[in-house]
Amino acid sequence: MKLFDAILAGAVAAGLMFSFAGGAFAQDSAEAGMIDLANEESDATNNWLKVCSELDDGGQACIMRQVVTNTGVFTGSFLLRNDPSQESRLLAVASVPIGVLLPFGLTWQIDGGKPVRVPYMLCDPNACSAQLVVNESYIQSLKRGNQLKLIAKNRQNEDITIAINLAGFTATYDNPEGISIEELNEANSTENVLEQVLQDRANQLREEMENQSAPATPGATEAPAQ
């Protein structure tokens, strides 16, 4: 069970950006202010990734997660842990990119329901996350809802709204099946290999372009990626 807890902690710290074929895809929208998550997939359960682990008592603990991107860039995510072995069985974690105003917290709102302001608990180089212990009543609201809005304040004190598409939430939550931790690790390992190949090719092309241009000033170093 320690491994499952480590994956949950790692997912939060990494900005919840797991993605691979066959799992929940990263919802993508080019609109900057309000990220619209109208689902174009015929199977709405593709909105969600579900990972489960067997408990010592024969039960299971599961994590559901959806990631939102804007032209391929991470803009937000929502994760729900359902673990009967924990004192707080149901724990929700929402994440947004860094650069938000921390004192305002992150507001969660299901459709037109009452908004809930949740304080940030963690920021890392990729994201800031807020977590909330929820109950079955909140789960039912998610099941009935169409959209969970995550509202943050940017540095200009403007609202930034990320919409989590709740289509497929009920089917995924009620389905006892989920991929195993081993399958998740295997898929992530395969993706990491592909990413490394693409990165190596990009570096090669960059070096070729640099060789065709004038030599750089001696002692100059490349600026770190922003």
List the structure tokens of 70.
């804007």
| pLDDT tops 50 at residue 218 | no
The per-residue pLDDT for 37 is 40
Stretch 112-140: mean pLDDT: 95
φ and ψ at residue 166, rounded to 5 degrees: -85, 0
The per-residue pLDDT for 56 is 87
At 119, which CATH number? 2.60.40.1880
Angle (deg, nearest 10), helices 181-212 and 2-13: 30
The more confidently predicted of residues 179 and 226 is: 179
| 204 class by beta-carbon count within 10 Å (0-12 exposed, 13-18 middle, 19+ buried) | exposed
* Residue 198 resides in a domain: no
pLDDT classification of 168: cutoffs 50, 70, 90: very high
| pLDDT tops 70 at residue 192 | no
The more confidently predicted of residues 223 and 113 is: 113
pLDDT classification of 110: cutoffs 50, 70, 90: very high
Neighbours of 42 (CB within 10 A): 6
Q: Residue 126: CB partners within 8 Å, gap ≥ 6?
A: 14, 15, 17, 74, 97, 98
| pLDDT tops 50 at residue 25 | no
* Residue 58 resides in a domain: yes
Q: Are 166 and 149 in contact (CB under 8 A)?
A: no
| pLDDT tops 60 at residue 64 | yes
Q: Are 68 and 152 in contact (CB under 8 A)?
A: no
| pLDDT tops 60 at residue 105 | yes
* Residue 117 resides in a domain: yes
Number of structural domains, the chain?
A: 1
* Residue 10 resides in a domain: no
pLDDT classification of 206: cutoffs 50, 70, 90: low
Q: Residue 117: CB partners within 8 Å, gap ≥ 6?
A: 104, 105, 106, 107, 108
Q: Which of the residue ranges 12-16, 59-63, 111-115, 169-173 would you say has the lowest mean pLDDT?
A: 12-16
Stretch 186-215: mean pLDDT: 56
Nearest to 70 by CA among 99, 104, 96: 96
The per-residue pLDDT for 47 is 87
* Residue 104 resides in a domain: yes
Q: Model-level pTM greater than 0.85?
A: no
Domain that holds residue 168: 48-184
| pLDDT tops 60 at residue 147 | yes
Q: Are 107 and 148 in contact (CB under 8 A)?
A: no
* Residue 26 resides in a domain: no
Q: Can you list the positions of beta strands (E) in the chain? A: 27-28, 34-35, 49-54, 60-70, 73-82, 90-97, 106-110, 116-118, 120-123, 127-133, 147-153, 159-165, 179-180
| pLDDT tops 70 at residue 49 | yes
The per-residue pLDDT for 157 is 94
Stretch 31-37: mean pLDDT: 41
User: How much is the mean pLDDT over the chain?
Assistant: 75
* Residue 179 resides in a domain: yes
* Residue 165 resides in a domain: yes
